[in-house]
Amino acid sequence: MVLPRKELPDVGELLIATVQEIYDYGAYVTLDEYGGLRAFLPWSEVSSKWVRSIREVIKEGQKIVVKAIRVDRAKKEVDVSLKRVAESDKQRKMRWWKRYSKACKIVEIVAEKLKKGVEEAYREVVWRLEDKYEDVMYALERAVVEGKKVLLEAGVPEEWADALIEEASRHIKPKEVVVRYKLIVQSYMPDGVLRVKRCLSAIAGTLESRGVKFRLYVSGSPRYTLEVYAEDYKTAEAMAEEAIKAGEEASKSLGLLFIVEREKA
């Protein structure tokens, strides 16, 4: 079980939970990210559809993604909801949890080898990587490919670096990586559709001229997604940034709204 960074979650926070006890009026779950803290899932928060029994939706021992809807910090009580979590958020949170748990395990193995305590491991490695890169596994993946500078730049002590890369290399096999960006490309001009296409063509053309594998697709106009693939993150990010720069320049000349946001894995 991972070490919790704070004692209680915040209202609205998505949480990984394990179903422990089910009753007619609700269920009790434990929060995996908070040291097994017990939380209550009311019957009314299990499903947005009518169900005859809560057991039609959840079972004991099942891992689910819930949202904190009430947090009593004085009594240390938490109520959660299952029905208020969108399916896409459930999948994203579960993917993150699997990666985070694996990354924490790698760090804990290294801590044992270095004769370090678990709290020290999280304070000096896990949380610093999380602050710098948001995704701890992403940081370790980059470190395996690019070297210990990735760790040192996050403030991880030198004494951890080589051992972390050595251990991470046993669990992380180099493969094709992807960096993903969310784009908003919009025009209010009469020929706006053509202007947007020209901007997107500038992005695609830049990557095509470099022989880079990529995907650029509409996520729901005016939103688009750019995915760039490479053998390592450094290369993928460099190619993506070059293409985005071409898109920005094109958008200025075409009078478009152009917003870019990097999406973490």
pLDDT attached to residue 231: 79
pLDDT attached to residue 215: 94
Does domain 88-171 fall under CATH 1.10.150.190? My reply is yes
- Tell me which residue of 228, 222, 217, 224 sits closest to 257, measured CA to CA: 222
Burial of 1 (0-12, 13-18, 19+ CB in 10 A): exposed
- Tell me which residue of 67, 25, 30 sits closest to 44, measured CA to CA: 25
Annotated domain spans of the chain: 14-84, 88-171, 177-263
Q: Which amino acid is at 141?
A: E
Q: Three-state DSSP class for 66? A: strand
pLDDT attached to residue 47: 95
User: Where do the H-state alpha helices sit in 81-135?
Assistant: 87-113, 118-121, 127-133
Q: Which two tokens stand for residue 156?
A: 């991880």
pLDDT attached to residue 265: 55
pLDDT attached to residue 233: 84
pLDDT in tens, 209-233: 988 999 999 988 899 999 999 977 8
C-alpha span between 109 and 116 (Å, rounded):
10
The alpha carbon of 249 is separated from its chain's Cα centroid by a whole number of angstroms, namely 30
Q: Which amino acid is at 49?
A: K
Cite the beta strand spans of the chain per DSSP E. Answer: 14-23, 26-31, 37-42, 63-72, 77-81, 177-186, 213-220, 223-230, 257-263
pLDDT attached to residue 192: 94
Assign a CATH topology to domain 177-263: Alpha-Beta Plaits (3.30.70)
C-alpha span between 117 and 126 (Å, rounded):
13
Burial of 164 (0-12, 13-18, 19+ CB in 10 A): buried
CATH code at 14-84: 2.40.50.140
C-alpha span between 61 and 46 (Å, rounded):
16
pLDDT attached to residue 264: 67
| Nearby residues of 6 by Cβ (< 8 Å), 6 or more positions away | none
| pLDDT < 50 regions, the chain | none
| Nearby residues of 71 by Cβ (< 8 Å), 6 or more positions away | 8, 9, 10, 11, 77, 78, 79
